[in-house]
Amino acid sequence: MAQAYRGSGGSEPEGTGSRLRRRLHELRRDPGIWRRGLVTAGVALLLTLVMVFHAELPNSVGNTGSLIETFLPWLGLLVPVLVALAVWRTSATALLATALAAAVWLNFFGGLVTDKSGGGGNLMVATHNVDADNPDQHGTAEKIADSGADVLALTELKASAVPVYEGVLAKTYKYHQVEGTVGVWSKYPLSDPAPVDIRLGWTRAMRTTVDTDHGPVAVYVAHLPSVRVKLNAGFTANQRDNSAEALGRALAAEPIKKVILLGDLNGTMNDRALSPVTSQMRSTQGAAGDGFGFSWPAGFPMARIDQIMVRGVKPEASWTLPATGSDHLPVAARVTVPQR
C-alpha cells in the first residue's frame, strides 16, 4: 500500500492546535511581552483608580468629581478599546491591567446590565419631566395616562400647560394636586398637599399623602435645579446641590414610614451631591430595574437623572416608558406597599 503524501520534507501539515501551542511557547520566551504596552496599561490602571476612588475626586475645580460620577457607567466603553490595544501590542502587562479595570466595572455596574424586575407589586408609580417647551402636551398627557400608573408625578409644568394635563388626565385620575411647577395625579385620594422649600424662591417640590388600599404613603415630587457644563466654570451645580440638601432634610423629617420620591433630580445615584437624598432612600432602578434605565436626553439617553426612590416600600420592577414630546423619558416602577 502506498504511503500517504506528507508534503515536502515528509512532515504533516500543522494543525490549528499545534500552531497555537507554538505561538504560546514563543510568547512565553518573549521578554518584551511584559515591557510592551506600558502606556495602555497605565491608562487601564488610571481608569481603575477613577472608578474605585471616584468619591475622592475633588469638586473644588468645576465640580469635576460630580461630572465624572454622572457618566461613570460610560467609562466601561474604554475597556474593549484597551483590550484591543493590548492584543495589538501583544502585551501581557496591558492585558492584566485591562482585566482589572473590567473586573472593577463589572463589580460596580454588572448588576445593572441584567433585568432584575419581578412580577409582584401592589402600586405602580411613574414620573415624567414633561418639558416646559413640549410641542405636544396633549399627546404627552395621553401617553402617560395610558401607562397604567396608579400615582403619576409631573415636573416642569408650565402654568399655561396645566389645564391641558388636567383635562386629559382627569379621565384616568380622580385626584390631583399641583404646586408651582410640579404636580401629582392619583387614582387614590390625596391629603395634606404642601409645597416643599428647596431654596429656590419658587415652588419646584411638593409633598402629599396618598391614601392607598394598604395605608397612607407620603409622596414627594421634586425637580432639582439643572446643572450646566461651562468652559470657564466647569460643571456648575451649586444651586442643585443646595436644593438636594434641603430636600434631604424634608425627607428626614417625614413622620410617615412609607415614602416615595418621584421627580427629576438632575443627577444620578452615583453623584455624591445627591447623598443627602440617596443616603436615606432606595433607588427602584438599582434594586429592581431592567438595565441602566437611562432617561435623558430622550433622543439618546445617557444618564438616569429622573428617579423613583422609596423608603419603607419594596421595589419590584422599574423601567422607562416610551418617548413623548419631552426631552426626558418617563420612568415607572411597581412597588409593594406593606399592609397597615
DSSP states of 232-260: TTEEE-HHHHHHHHHHHHHHHT--SS-EE
Per-residue pLDDT for 182 more than 50?
yes
Q: In what order do the strands lie in the sheet with 331-336?
A: 175-179, 182-186, 151-155, 123-129, 331-336, 314-320
Which of 54, 86, 110 delimits the end of a domain? 110
Count Cβ atoms below 10 Å from residue 48 Cβ, excluding itself: 19
Residues 249, 101: one domain?
no
| Same domain as 195, residue 66 | no
196 — pLDDT class (breaks 50, 70, 90): very high
| 1 domain-assigned | no
Express each pLDDT in 216-259 by its tens digit: 999 999 999 987 655 444 445 688 889 999 999 999 999 999 99
Q: What pLDDT is attached to residue 301?
A: 96
Q: Report, as an integer, the average pLDDT of 122-141.
A: 98
41, amino acid identity: A
pLDDT the model gives residue 27: 52
pLDDT surpasses 90 at 90 = no
Integer Cα distance of 310 and 116 in angstroms: 17
What per-residue confidence (pLDDT) applies to 329?
Answer: 98
Return the DSSP state at 281: S
HEC readout, 131-196: CCCCCCHHHHHHHHHCCCCCEEEEECCCHHHHHHHHHHHCCCCCEEEEECCEEEEECCCEEEEEEC
Looking at 68-133, which runs of residues are DSSP E strands?
123-129
Domain final position from 110, 143, 174: 110
Give the pLDDT score at 7.
46
Average pLDDT of every residue of the chain: 89
- Cβ burial of 109 (10 Å; 0-12, 13-18, 19+) is middle
- The answer to whether residue 194 is domain-embedded is yes
Strands (E) located in the chain: 123-129, 151-155, 175-179, 182-186, 190-195, 205-212, 215-223, 228-230, 234-236, 259-264, 282-283, 306-311, 314-320, 331-336
61 three-class SS: coil
- State the Cα–Cα distance between residues 219 and 210, nearest whole angstrom: 7
Average pLDDT for 276-303: 94
In this structure, are 287 and 155 located in the same domain? yes
Q: Which pLDDT value is given to residue 2?
A: 46
Answer yes or no: is pLDDT of 4 > 80: no
CA atoms of 316 and 333, how far apart (whole Å)? 7
pTM: 0.84
Dig out the grid coordinates for 1 from the structure: 500500500
156-183 mean pLDDT: 98
Q: Same domain for 134 and 64?
A: no
Biggest alpha carbon distance in the chain? Answer: 100
Percent of the chain at pLDDT > 90 equals 72
Q: What's the rounded Cα separation, in Å, for the pair 170 and 187? A: 10
Residue ranges making up the domain that contains 31: 12-110
In a domain, 117, yes or no: no
Quote the cell numbers at residue 60: 473644588
Same domain, 92 and 148: no
The answer to whether residue 98 scores a pLDDT higher than 60 is yes
pLDDT given at position 58: 82
Same structural domain, 180 and 275: yes
164 with 192, same domain: the answer is yes
210 phi and psi, to 5 degrees? -100, 120
- Residue 3 inside a domain? The answer is no
Judge if 91 and 138 occupy the same domain. no
Asked whether residue 79 carries a pLDDT value surpassing 60, the answer given is yes
Domain co-membership, 179 together with 106: no
Name the residue type at position 260. I
**Do 206 and 70 belong to one domain?**
no
Which set of grid coordinates corresponds to residue 338?
406593606
**Which CATH number belongs to the domain containing residue 310 in this structure?**
3.60.10.10
Task: Work out the average pLDDT over 172-182.
Answer: 98
Of 82, 110, 138, the one marking the end of a domain is 110
The whole-number pLDDT of residue 28 equals 58
142 shares its domain with 255: yes
Report, as an integer, the average pLDDT of 58-71: 78
If asked whether residues 46 and 135 sit together in one domain, one would say no
104 lies in some domain: yes
How many domains does the structure of the chain reveal? Answer: 2
Q: Is there a domain that residue 202 lies in?
A: yes
* Confidence band for 274, pLDDT divided at 50, 70 and 90: very high
pLDDT tens digit string along 9-62?
Answer: 444 555 666 765 665 555 555 667 888 889 999 999 999 999 999 988 887 666
In this structure, the number of other CB atoms found within 10 A of the CB of residue 231 comes to: 6
Residue 207 belongs to a domain: yes
In a domain, 5, yes or no: no
| pLDDT range class, residue 83, cuts 50, 70, 90 | very high
Which range, of 54-63, 141-150, 206-215, 254-263, averages the lowest pLDDT?
54-63
